[in-house]
Amino acid sequence: NRCFYFNDIPSTNAFMLTHGQELKSGDICLAEYQSAGRGRRGRQWLSPYGHHIYASLYWRLEQGMPQAMGLSLVVACSIVTVLKQMGVSGLGLKWPNDIYLNDKKLAGILIELINSAEQACQLVIGFGINMSMSASQGELIDQPWSDLSTLESMPDKTELVIAVHKQLKQDLKRFEAAGLKDFIDAWQADDIFMGREVSLLMAPNEVTGIYKGIDEQGAVLLQTAQGLQAFVGGEISLRAT
Ligand code: ATP
């Protein structure tokens, strides 16, 4: 695989989206700083210069879009698996794409589609992990955040990137072969909302219920007044009530 490395770039996802036609599954782009790091729905991923991880992996799903649902859950599980192997505890997952440490956001995932016109589907899987963020660097983040610097032994950034790259390739192949079912238990074990009352926002609608985990399609399961319901879609946000 190839690795494209930048000191300074607008967005690693944007770079990979532009170069999709020349890439092979597993190629990766890394940067020390992003001037326009992206989040879901046009939101921003704050990407100060320092020791943080900003990365985007190119992947081609041969079986096309239906498989792509649940992909961000697999990616989050891969990153958590590696962090746990490196001795990190206190990790949590929030559907569909966030990793928390001690209840504060540590890492984000943004999956963007290059094209799904043909049968295969080309994706860019971006992830950002806060390594050691100063209070002033984090000042602009509009929700509680965390980084890995509070740990007794902080993982080495290069080792972490290499291990995540390897784990992602392995898990994405497994996902392509068998779907999400192999990942459901791992996801639910760390899901921060299991059993809690949550509200699910799908503007302009809001649904409240008890969070029951995920199904094999990666949809959220909520026990509502109407019974057990599954919800899926890129526009959904979950909040504790
Ligand atoms: P939410 O976490 O509110 O559900 P989301 O999953 O829709 O949001 P993401 O795309 O994961 O959004 O991330 C964007 C959001 O993450 C930003 O709006 C901001 O609140 C927060 N954020 C931005 N940069 C960072 C960072 N470096 N570390 C932690 N959180 C960040």
Q: Residue 215 maps to which CATH number?
A: 2.30.30.100
**Average of pLDDT values for 97-118?**
90
Is 77 in the same domain as 141? yes
Among candidate residues 165, 190, 215, the one where a domain is terminated? 190
Q: What is the ipTM of this complex?
A: 0.96
Is 162 in the same domain as 206? no
Is 53 in the same domain as 167? yes
Peptide bond into 204 cis (omega under 30): yes
- Write out the two tokens for 100: 């928390």
138 touches ligand 1 (CB under 6 Å): no
Find the catalytic residue in 41, 43, 181, 239. Answer: 239
In this model, does residue 63 exceed pLDDT 90?
no
- Indicate which residue's Cα is closest to atom 26 of ligand 1: 46
Instruction: Give the residue numbers spanning the domain of 155.
Output: 3-190
**Average of pLDDT values for 91-118?**
91
Whole-number average pLDDT of the chain:
93
Q: How many domains does the chain have?
A: 2
- Indicate which residue's Cα is closest to atom 14 of ligand 1: 39
Find the catalytic residue in 38, 94, 105, 212. Answer: 105
**Residue from 157, 30, 36 nearest 86 by CA:** 157
Q: Give the 3-state DSSP-derived string for 30-89, with helices as H, strands as E and coil as C.
A: EEEEECCCECHHHCECCCCCCCCEEEEEEEEECCCHHHHCCHHHHHHHHHHHHHHHCCCC
pLDDT the model gives residue 167: 98
Find the catalytic residue in 38, 40, 94, 212. Answer: 40
User: 3 in helix, strand or coil?
Assistant: strand
What ranges in the chain are assigned the alpha helix state H? 12-18, 71-85, 135-138, 157-178, 184-190
Is 125 in the same domain as 220? no
Question: Catalytic: 239?
Answer: yes
Is 214 in the same domain as 167? no
Is 59 in the same domain as 170? yes
Is 21 in the same domain as 77? yes
Is 123 in the same domain as 217? no
Question: Catalytic: 105?
Answer: yes
Pocket probe for ligand 1: among 46, 136, 237, the residue whose CB has the most ligand atoms within 8 Å is 46
Measure 225 CA to ligand 1 centroid, in angstroms.
30
Is 139 in the same domain as 217? no
Among candidate residues 190, 206, 231, the one where a domain is terminated? 190
For the whole model, what pTM was predicted?
0.95
Is 185 in the same domain as 87? yes
Is 118 in the same domain as 233? no
CATH of residue 47's domain is 3.30.930.10
Give the integer Cα–Cα distance in Å for 222 and 209.
Answer: 5
Is 207 in the same domain as 121? no
